[in-house]
Amino acid sequence: MAEGARIPLRHDYRVIVLGSGISGLFVALETRRLGPVLVLTKGSVDDCNTRWAQGGIAAAIGPLDSPEQHLADTIAAGAGLVDHDAAHVLCFEGPQRIRDLITYGVPFDSLDGEIALGREAAHSQSRIVHAGGDRTGAEIETALTGAAYDPAITIVDHILATRILVEDGRAVGVEAIDLQTGAHETFVAPAVVIATGGAGRLYSHTTNPDVTTGDGVVLGFEAGAEVADLEFYQFHPTAFRQEGEQQFLISEAVRGEGAILRNKAGERFMPRYHALAELAPRDIVARAIANEMREDGADHVSLDCTGITRVDLAVRFPGIHEFCLEHGIDMAKDPIPVSPAAHYLMGGIRTDLHARTTVPGLYACGEVACTGVHGANRLASNSLLETVVFAKRAAEHIAGGQGGAAEPSVEAIGAGIPGVSAPGHETLQRLMWECAGIERDATRLERALATIATWHEASPATRPEFERRQMATLAQLMLRAALQRTESRGAHYRADFPERDDAHWLRRQVFRRAD
């Protein structure tokens, strides 16, 4: 591997992977025996969502657990829209993928010689596999990056993929700009895998790093691939909130160990909203916190960890503990100020059970993809599992040389989206938070669409310009999907349509390019 190489030795590859998080690196490692693999990433190799994942990976490996129970929990959390076949694959193949990660050197935490298992919201069993306490993502990223130092894999960092090349209806390569030299590059391969992660940076409050601007979803859409479920954006209930500070994820696993939420008056409020209290599904906890903040005129609630005595907080959550100390908070004694933040895109490029998109030769894995396993509301810690399960399936399908593509959806809606550019990242982020955040309604959604319609088209020449164009395109798709779904379901809550409507909306929304 030539990490950081400015000009790769060749421009034709067996597989091209966009993104260097867990899904991208897993695909690269699993396909390297087929021939040369190229990994392109617009930031540094470890600049991805994977690095910041805290809680862990959900997998049914405990003695009292089973894939059947994991499947039931996943379906229950998804509010009626989970693809049962995809979820079955996720839960039944998950344990083997944990073993694969161990083979690649991921040092999962253990207890008495067995893998330690944590508990998170809406799981009926303790099944959260973690590493480094609350540094699971960082440990995985480190292990996979180390394994990717292989002659068959070339990783080129700080290079921006700007277009999927499509010839005769098939993906055949990628156009990119080298962000350090300004050179325009063209790379070709019979298999292209989009693994660029999510889109948290569309919102002003997010747990995601700067690179998560939704580029990959738009690259797939513009190449002709269908996208789905874009109205379902998960807002994590507990992100550290302090004026002037970037929000920092406070893992759900902290509540799994016994932390409780208190409002401005010091009252524990979650039992008023759901029988599972702090361990209710994320959409319920996030809306409850938002409601308490609104009633109190506050910008946060408090996460109280002082009652946790069965674990050493500094050992179980070293990253969170260290972060809090740096901000003057001893989580064993002091309340942590938290509020909801954009966290995870349930929708994305629509894929089948082999991670194929509707464009032959084009695959998608990880948060950029919509496999259907999350439905309208992702079950905690199913995301990292989804990345490796479907990355493995993508690699197997590529190796099998079977070709083909996902079957087009008969319900896909043709969408003509103007290629406008936001005036600035912050302008779009504020608009999306205000109009398409935890609670939406027709007035705000229409206002956001009308505002974007006034923005000008642009021919991006720099990374910020390209990101603003991609963000504006994805925002329009998300807003349109949210406006059309006239009900509340999972993470999509319409204040003007507060009830779930199975009679009309027990279905997914799928978009494709109008042309």
Q: Is residue 193 part of a domain?
A: yes
Q: Which residues pair with 18 in a beta bridge?
A: 40, 194
Report residue 50's pLDDT band, with 50, 70 and 90 as the boundaries. Answer: low
CATH of the domain at 257: 3.90.700.10
Mean pLDDT lowest among 111-115, 238-242, 397-401: 111-115
Kindly give the pairing relationship between strand 15-18 and strand 37-41: parallel
Q: Residues 435-491: pLDDT tens digits? A: 999 999 999 999 999 999 999 987 788 999 999 999 999 999 999 999 999 999 999
Span 164-177, average pLDDT = 97
CATH of the domain at 374: 3.50.50.60
Q: Is residue 472 part of a domain?
A: yes
Per-chain mean pLDDT for the chain: 93
Q: Is residue 215 part of a domain?
A: no
d(CA 36, CA 13): 5
Report residue 45's pLDDT band, with 50, 70 and 90 as the boundaries. Answer: confident
Report residue 88's pLDDT band, with 50, 70 and 90 as the boundaries. Answer: very high
- Region for residue 229 given its phi and psi (left: phi exceeds 0; alpha: psi -120 to 50; beta: otherwise): left
Report the number of distinct structural domains present in the chain: 3
Q: 340, 358, 381 — which closes off a domain?
A: 340
Residues 330 and 447 in one domain: no
Residues 353 and 305 in one domain: no
Residues 46 and 92 in one domain: yes
Residues 446 and 423 in one domain: yes
pLDDT at 496 over 50: yes
Q: 340, 373, 408 — which closes off a domain?
A: 340
Residues 331 and 356 in one domain: no
pLDDT at 2 over 50: no
Residues 22 and 99 in one domain: yes
Q: Is residue 333 part of a domain?
A: yes
Residue 159 DSSP SS3: strand
Q: Residues 309-318: pLDDT tens digits? A: 989 999 989 9
Of 69, 116, 71, nearest in space to 91 by CA:
71
Q: Residues 14-38: pLDDT tens digits? A: 999 999 999 999 999 999 999 999 9
Both tokens of residue 124? 């009926």
Task: Spot the catalytic one: 135, 282, 350, 489.
Answer: 282
State the pLDDT at residue 345.
97
Residues 330 and 380 in one domain: no
Residues 426 and 503 in one domain: yes
Query: What's the domain range around 316?
Result: 238-340
Give whole-number Cα distances, 499 to 86, 107, 376, 436, 505, in Å. Answer: 27, 44, 14, 18, 11
Residues 55 and 150 in one domain: yes
How many other β-carbons are positioned within 10 Å of the β-carbon of residue 10?
A: 11
Q: 340, 367, 382 — which closes off a domain?
A: 340
CATH of the domain at 483: 1.20.58.100
Of 358, 244, 257, nearest in space to 311 by CA:
257
Mean pLDDT lowest among 94-108, 240-254, 372-386: 240-254
Residues 38 and 171 in one domain: yes
Of 130, 110, 106, 108, nearest in space to 118 by CA:
130
Percent of the chain clearing pLDDT 90 (strictly above): 84
Q: Is residue 379 part of a domain?
A: yes
Reply yes or no on whether 163 is catalytic.
no
Span 301-329, average pLDDT = 94
Report residue 6's pLDDT band, with 50, 70 and 90 as the boundaries. Answer: low
Span 199-227, average pLDDT = 96
Percent of the chain clearing pLDDT 70 (strictly above): 97
State the pLDDT at residue 419.
85
Q: Is residue 325 part of a domain?
A: yes
State the pLDDT at residue 1.
42
Residues 268 and 358 in one domain: no
Q: Residues 366-399: pLDDT tens digits? A: 999 999 999 999 998 999 999 999 999 999 999 9
Q: Residues 257-300: pLDDT tens digits? A: 999 999 999 999 999 999 999 988 888 999 999 999 999 999 99
State the pLDDT at residue 4.
44
Q: Residues 406-433: pLDDT tens digits? A: 999 999 999 988 889 999 999 999 999 9
Q: Residues 191-203: pLDDT tens digits? A: 999 999 999 999 9
Q: Is residue 409 part of a domain?
A: no
Both tokens of residue 180? 């350090």
> Which has the higher per-residue pLDDT, 46 or 446?
446
Residues 390 and 336 in one domain: no
d(CA 396, CA 491): 33
Residue 513 near residue 224 (C-beta atoms within 8 A): yes
Q: Residues 134-151: pLDDT tens digits? A: 889 889 999 999 999 999
Q: Is residue 372 part of a domain?
A: yes
What's the whole-model pTM score? 0.94
